[in-house]
Amino acid sequence: MSQSWPALVLRASAVDGSEDLVSAVLTDFNPVAIQDLAERPLPPGGLWDPTYPPIPDPPPTPLHWSVCFSDPGERDRAGRAIALALPLMKIERVDLPDEDWAARSQQSLKAVRAGAFIIAPPWDLPPPAAHGVDATVIVIEPSMGFGTGHHATTRMCLRLLSALDVADATVLDLGTGSGVLSMAAALMGARRVTGVDVDQDAIDSAESSARLNTLPDSITFVVSDFRKAPPAPADIVLANLTGGMLTSSAADIAALVRPHGRLILSGFDHTEVGCVLASFASFPERQRLSEDNWIALELHRRG
C-alpha cells in the first residue's frame, strides 16, 4: 500500500511554552497521530533511561513534532490555526508514507500468545475454543500504558512468570504500564499484587483494562515512584524497565525482593545484560530468554 498521511511538521526554535499552545490548538482538530521528533540527550554511558537526566519542565529541546491528519483539508485548517497562534513556529506541510503509521496503528493490533496467556485487544477477542486448555485471556485496551503484549520484553516477562509458582505469593510489578503483568499474576492466584507506575496515565489505563477482565480483588494499582516511596517487599518482583534504570536503581529493587524470592527483569538488550547482571551480583541467574535482541532474566534471591 502506498497511501500517505497529510501531515504538519512543526518546529519551534526557542523554548516558549509552545508545546502547550500547539496542544491546545490541536484539540480543535482531530490529529490521528502526533510524533515527537525532538532529540533528547543520552546519559553518560549511553544507556537510555527516561529519568536521567531528569527532563526539566519545560523541556530543554525546542519543539519538533510531526502531526498526521485524516484529510488534507483538516491538516491545512490546523496549520492556519497554529500559524495564527504561534507566528514564529516553522510549519511544513508534508505527506508522510503510511507504512510506519499503519504498522503502529492500534486498530491493527491482534491478540498475541505469551506463556500461559493470550493478550487481546477488545476488538480481537479469541473465541473460547481457540484458547487451548492452558491459556488465559487478558484483555488490554491499547492506550497510554506500555504493555499490549506486542513488545518482546512484555511477552518474555509473561513467559517467565507463567513458569513460576505464583499461587499465594505476593507480587510487585514495578512500572506496571498497561497493568498486564499484574493482571497475569492475579489470575495465577497471587495472594496480593501491587502494580506501581510513576505515570498517572499508565495507572488510569491499567485500571480501565482491569475492568475489562474478571480479576480477583488481590490486585491494586498505585501511582508512585518505587525509588521514592518503596512498596512492601514481595516474593516475586517484576521490573520491565530499561537497562539504565535497572542498573541505577538496583539497590532499591533488590531491597524489594523477599528472601528466597524471584526477580524478573527485562527492558534491556544484549549489550546491556552484563551491566544489569553485575548490578544484581548477589542474585544468581535462574533463566534467560531472548527475543528480537531483547533479554529477560529470572534471578533468585538467596535466603
Residues 193-232 that bind ligand SAH (CB under 6 A): 196-199, 202, 225-227
Residue from 121, 147, 243, 261 touching ligand SAH (CB under 6 A): that is 147
Q: How far is the CB of 287 from ligand SAH (least distance, A)?
A: 16
- How buried is 179 (Cβ within 10 angstroms: 0-12 exposed, 13-18 middle, 19+ buried)? buried
Q: How far is the CB of 140 from ligand SAH (least distance, A)?
A: 9
N residues, the chain: 303
Nearer to ligand SAH, 135 or 198 (CB): 198
Q: Does 298 bind ligand SAH (CB under 6 A)?
A: no
Residues 26-55 that bind ligand SAH (CB under 6 A): 50-51
Q: What is the DSSP letter of 106?
A: G
Residues 242-281 that bind ligand SAH (CB under 6 A): 245
Nearer to ligand SAH, 66 or 249 (CB): 249
Q: How far apart are CA 297 and CA 78, in angstroms?
A: 47
**Under 8 Å CB-to-CB from 223, ≥6 apart: which residues?**
196, 197, 198, 199, 200, 203
β-sheet with 4-11: strand ranges across: 33-36, 64-68, 4-11, 90-97
| Sequential DSSP letters for 63-99 | PEEEEE-SSHHHHHHHHHHHHHH-TT-EEEEEEEESH
Q: At 222, list the grid cell.
A: 498505585
Nearer to ligand SAH, 94 or 251 (CB): 251
Q: At 12, list the grid cell.
A: 519551534
Nearer to ligand SAH, 74 or 124 (CB): 124
Q: At 68, list the grid cell.
A: 498526521
Q: Does 162 bind ligand SAH (CB under 6 A)?
A: no
Total binding residues toward ligand SAH, as defined by CB under 6 A: 24
Residue from 154, 247, 248, 279 touching ligand SAH (CB under 6 A): that is 154
Nearer to ligand SAH, 227 or 258 (CB): 227
In the chain, DSSP assigns E strands to 4-11, 33-36, 64-68, 90-97, 112-114, 117-120, 136-139, 170-174, 192-197, 219-223, 234-240, 257-269, 285-291, 294-300
Residue from 68, 166, 172, 181 touching ligand SAH (CB under 6 A): that is 181
State which residue has the least CB distance to ligand SAH: 175
Q: How far is the CB of 198 from ligand SAH (least distance, A)?
A: 4
Nearer to ligand SAH, 55 or 85 (CB): 55
Q: How far apart are CA 185 and CA 166, in angstroms?
A: 7
Nearer to ligand SAH, 96 or 289 (CB): 289
Nearer to ligand SAH, 135 or 144 (CB): 144
Q: How far apart are CA 208 and CA 246, in angstroms?
A: 28
Residue from 236, 241, 253, 257 touching ligand SAH (CB under 6 A): that is 241
Beta bridge partners of 148: none
Q: Does 116 bind ligand SAH (CB under 6 A)?
A: no
Binding site for ligand SAH (CB under 6 A): 50-51, 146-147, 154, 157, 173-177, 180-181, 196-199, 202, 225-227, 240-241, 245
